[in-house]
Structures are given as C-alpha cells and as structure tokens.
C-alpha cells in the first residue's frame, strides 16, 4: 500500500526535524546562486541563521517575476556541468520560467511521483498511457520516468491525436491514463464518434487528472464516462512539476510530500500566514533540490489546509482542490470572478456539454461577459423552446453565483476551440 512506508507515515516531529535539516542545507545551497546571493545581502539575511522552521519567515519570498528576471542561469546553485536537464513552465500567464535539474534532483522527483502514483493503486502490472505533451512541459517526462520506476509498461502517447489515443488504449489494454481534465471531456466526443465505449471496450481503471483547475463535478463526469477512479494531481514546474501534491484513495484533499517541500499558506495581501484551514496563496520551498533551490515561492494558487490527519495513515499534510490562481482572476464591474467558479456551476447543470469559453468585451463604458457553452446535441434538434429554457436557466444559475448577468450563448458540441494542452477559458477583448 505504501511506496515508502517510513517516509509516508513518519511521525510529525521526526518529519519536522528532517525538514529543518533539509531547509538549512537548501538555504545554504541557494546562497551559491547569483540571484539568492544578491537577495540575501540586500535583505541582510544570513543564510547560516536558520535554527528553527519558523525562521523561514525571515527569508524573502520568490516570485515568478524573480525567476523570469534571473533568466537564464541566475538561480542555478551548482556548477553548470552538474546540470543534466531543463524544463520550463507552460507560460500560461506570460513568459515561461526555466528550471534546471541535476541527476540527483531528477531521481528525487521521480521517486516522489512514483510514490504518489503507487498511493492510488497503480502497480507494475499496469499499462500506463501518458497523454501529456512531451518536451519542455513537465507532465510528459515527469510522469514517464515515474511510471517506469514503478515498473509499469509506459506508453509515451503525448498529447492530441485523439483517435490514435483510443486505438492505443484498446490495442495495448491501457489501465492507467494521465490526462488534462478538459481534454478528457473533449475525448468523450471522439469515443462516441468512433463507437468505442471506454467502460466496455477498454481496461481503463485509474486516471490522473492534472495541470489545470477542475471541479469535483468534472472529476465525477470523467469517472462515470471512463469507468475509472480519478485522482487529482497538482504540481508546477518551479517545484519540479507533477508530484507536489496528490490525492490518496480517501480523496479528501491532496497530500503534499513534506519531506520534499516546505508548505505555507499566506494571505496574498498582508503576506502573513492565514489561520489554519483558511484559504490563501500556497507558498512552497524546495527541500531536496540542489541544482536550483527555490525558497518561499509564491505559486499564486489558492487553496487551504485540510485539517486533521488522513485516515490513509500518511502524515503529510493535505491541501484542498485549487480554487483559482490569483493571476487568472477576472475583475468585471468590480466583482472578482475565477473561471473555475463558472466551470463548477456549468458542470452541475444537466444538458451542459463538455466545453465553454468566457469572452470579455467592452461595450461603451461597460464590461460585458459572454459565456459560450456547448450543450448536448439533442437541444438543437426539434423544439427550440427547450434551448431557450436552458439558456435562461444557465444565465440565472451563473448570475446567482457570480452576481453579474452574463450573456449566455449556447452552441453545438465540438464547436468551441480546443487545445492539446491546458484549456484556454478566457478571451479578454477589453484591452486596447
Ligand atoms: P504555468 O504556470 O505557466 O501554467 P506549469 O505548467 O508549471 O506552468 O503549471 C503549473 C500551474 O498549473 C499551477 O501553478 C496551477 O495553477 C496549475 N495546476 C496544475 N495542476 C493543477 C491541479 N491539479 N489543479 C489546479 N491547478 C493546477
Ligand atoms: Zn490520505
């Protein structure tokens, strides 16, 4: 049941001593990079001055902009010839950041991701199909090596090419998939098109859903359609990539591997820690990375600690499903809205299909939100009154949640643009 029992179930005080020991090493290593050397000296911070975990609060935060500015090698803390690989972020919110790894770093990353996959029940007898982009994106190679470490037959399918994905699943009896949730919903239409029923015609049993925010309802839809047990997988390239936090079979939040990461949740305005259990911005420190240690990284992802111990026996703390990222918050008529709120609401409404798009326009001095929603095909054949009723219902449901009235437009399945990677949910035409 455990990949690494002693680490996964370590007593909290032993785990915290391990964290302290690793934090000291990490801070010392970081001070060898150009970026942190400058940062420490301009803040009068003495890297030798860490004597308790609380002392971490004396270290300044690191932001995505810091990493962008230290491009390309500013945060590297070892001689370049020790680096063996680089990855980069997807660049969802601007210029991508780049992360370097030594062989030790890759080994540690592979180990925690294998630990996470094993935790969900994946074993060496499984056939694992990785439907993520291979290349700079971490979801490809990261999962690939971890699946091989478990010993599973690993199919590097990559993203896209939907019909071939289905063919691979059938021909090689794929049992476990790693897939972006918006793509998993889209793929249901391709299953219909080729007349394959994943529940009957494939051996799928587990899905890892990651790389973008998604609601509980989306998970349920995927579980039902594919006949799988779906697990939420959270990670970001700055912290290696996938493997940072992962659901166990209890599915009451995602365990963060605290032997590898020090976790804080802060109020993004005051930068002070939130009260235990309150929502805030996740801040992470690498505890085992030597090539490019990162201290107190502001992820911009909003979450909360799930209180209490988990009944699975693992002692590493859990965070809740990500409720948004501070930088994809929309401000419309003074109201703050996260695209995930809209997804959550839409997926609860019967008749809604698999895709939607938010378009923001400026009309005179007013902002307008258009929500274009794919709905089931049957609404377009026959009685158009039903279509109008559904449109009104969606408008009303959204209004009651986001407090502004969007213009809802209903479209047929498979008509909105699709991406192979993370879904693009918002088009903002308000900028001049
Ligand atoms: P970018 O920051 O450019 O998107 P990454 O590819 O490193 O680059 O993506 C990491 C981000 O993806 C996270 O910070 C988070 O916002 C989002 N993300 C990843 N996994 C999940 C998940 N399971 N739930 C919600 N958001 C996720
Ligand atoms: Zn658990």
317 and 368 in one domain?
Answer: no
**Is 212 near ligand 1, meaning CB less than 6 Å away?**
yes
What percentage of residues in the chain have a pLDDT greater than 90?
Answer: 89
State the residue for tokens 């690498």: 286
Residue 409 in tokens: 């437009």
Residue 25 in tokens: 């090493």
pLDDT in tens, 143-182: 999 999 999 999 999 999 999 999 999 999 999 999 999 9
47 and 66 in one domain?
Answer: yes
Mean pLDDT, all residues of the chain: 95
Residue 245 in tokens: 């936090």
pLDDT in tens, 90-143: 887 778 899 999 999 999 999 999 999 999 999 999 999 999 999 999 999 999
Which residues, other chains included, contact 362 with Cβ-Cβ below 8 Å and sequence gap of 6+?
368, 429, 430
CA distance 306 to 263: 13
230 and 296 in one domain?
Answer: yes
Q: How far does the centroid of ligand 2 lie from the alpha carbon of residue 7, in Å?
A: 13
Among all ligands shown, which has an atom nearest to the Cα of 208?
1
CA distance 214 to 53: 33
Give yes or no for a contact between 23 and 47, defined as CB atoms under 8 angstroms apart.
Answer: no
* Residue 132 phi, psi (nearest 5): -115, 155
- Domain with 154 in it: what CATH number? 3.40.50.12780
Which of 286, 309, 326 is the last residue in one of the domains?
326
Read off the pLDDT band of 52 (50, 70, 90): very high
The yes-or-no verdict on residue 382 having pLDDT over 80 is: no
Q: Residue 384 CB: number of other CB atoms within 10 A?
A: 10
Question: Which of 137, 286, 301, 324 has most ligand 1 atoms within 8 Å of its beta carbon, as the pocket-test mutant?
Answer: 301
In the predicted model, what is the mean pLDDT of residues 261-286?
97
Residue having the nearest C-alpha atom to atom 14 of ligand 1? 236
Among all ligands shown, which has an atom nearest to the Cα of 92?
1
State the residue for tokens 């912290």: 239
Read off the pLDDT band of 335 (50, 70, 90): confident
The yes-or-no verdict on residue 287 having pLDDT over 90 is: yes
211 and 291 in one domain?
Answer: yes
Q: CA–CA distance from 190 to each of 121, 171, 373, 401 (Å)?
A: 28, 17, 18, 32
Question: Which of 215, 236, 323 has most ligand 1 atoms within 8 Å of its beta carbon, as the pocket-test mutant?
Answer: 236
The yes-or-no verdict on residue 432 having pLDDT over 70 is: no
Reduced to 3 states (helix: H, G, I; strand: E, B; else coil), residue 137 is coil
The whole-model pTM stands at 0.94
**End-to-end Cα spacing for the chain:** 55
366 and 289 in one domain?
Answer: no
343 and 320 in one domain?
Answer: no
Which of 300, 326, 352 is the last residue in one of the domains?
326
211 and 134 in one domain?
Answer: yes
Residue having the nearest C-alpha atom to atom 25 of ligand 1? 213
- Domain with 412 in it: what CATH number? 3.30.300.30
274 and 339 in one domain?
Answer: no
Minimum-distance ligand 1 atom for the alpha carbon of 301: 16
**Is 31 near ligand 1, meaning CB less than 6 Å away?**
no
Q: CA–CA distance from 119 to each of 1, 250, 422 (Å)?
A: 7, 10, 25
Which of 326, 350, 368 is the last residue in one of the domains?
326
Residue range of the domain that includes 248: 1-326
**Count of domains in the chain?**
2
**Is 218 near ligand 1, meaning CB less than 6 Å away?**
no
In the predicted model, what is the mean pLDDT of residues 46-59?
96
Cα radius of gyration rounded to whole Å, the chain = 22
Read off the pLDDT band of 383 (50, 70, 90): confident
164 and 275 in one domain?
Answer: yes
């Amino acid at each position: 049941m455990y990949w690494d029992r002693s680490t996964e179930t370590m007593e909290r005080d032993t785990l915290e001593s391990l964290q302290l020991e690793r934090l000291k090493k990490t801070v010392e290593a970081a001070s060898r990079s150009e970026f942190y050397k400058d940062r420490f000296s301009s803040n009068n911070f003495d890297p030798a001055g860490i004597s308790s975990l609380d002392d971490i609060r004396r270290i300044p935060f690191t932001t995505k902009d810091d990493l962008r500015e230290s491009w390309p090698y500013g945060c590297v803390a070892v001689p370049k010839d020790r680096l063996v690989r680089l990855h980069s972020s997807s660049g969802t919110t601007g210029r991508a950041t780049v992360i370097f790894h030594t062989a030790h770093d890759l080994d540690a990353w592979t180990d925690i991701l294998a630990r996470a996959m094993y935790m969900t029940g994946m074993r060496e007898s499984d056939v694992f199909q990785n439907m993520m982009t291979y290349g700079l994106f971490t979801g490809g190679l990261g999962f690939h090596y971890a699946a091989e470490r478990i010993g599973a037959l690993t199919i590097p399918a990559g993203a896209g090419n939907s019909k071939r994905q289905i063919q691979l699943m059938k021909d090689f009896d794929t049992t476990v998939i790693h897939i972006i949730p918006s793509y998993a919903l889209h793929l249901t239409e391709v299953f219909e098109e080729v007349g394959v029923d994943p529940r009957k015609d494939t051996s799928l049993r587990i899905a890892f859903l990651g790389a973008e925010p998604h609601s509980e309802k989306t998970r349920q839809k995927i579980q039902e359609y594919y006949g799988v047990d779906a697990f939420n997988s959270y990670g970001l390239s700055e912290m290696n990539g996938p493997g940072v936090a992962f659901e166990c079979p209890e599915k009451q939040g995602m365990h963060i591997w605290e032997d590898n990461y020090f976790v804080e949740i802060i109020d993004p305005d005051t930068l002070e820690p939130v009260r235990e259990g309150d929502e805030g911005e996740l801040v992470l420190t690498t505890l085992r990375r030597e090539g490019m240690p990162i201290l107190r990284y502001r992820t911009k992802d909003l979450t909360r600690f799930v209180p209490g111990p988990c009944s699975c026996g693992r002692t590493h703390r859990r965070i809740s499903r990500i409720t948004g990222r501070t930088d994809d918050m929309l401000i419309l008529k003074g109201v703050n809205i996260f695209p995930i709120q809209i997804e959550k609401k839409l997926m609860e409404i019967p008749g809604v299909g698999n895709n939607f798009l938010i378009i923001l326009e400026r009309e005179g001095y007013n902002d307008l939100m258009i929500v274009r929603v794919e709905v089931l095909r049957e609404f377009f054949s026959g009685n158009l009154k039903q279509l109008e009723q559904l449109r009104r219902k969606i408008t009303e449901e959204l209004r009651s949640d986001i407090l502004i009235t969007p213009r809802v437009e209903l479209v047929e399945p498979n008509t909105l643009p699709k991406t192979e990677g993370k879904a693009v949910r918002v088009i903002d035409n308000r900028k001049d």
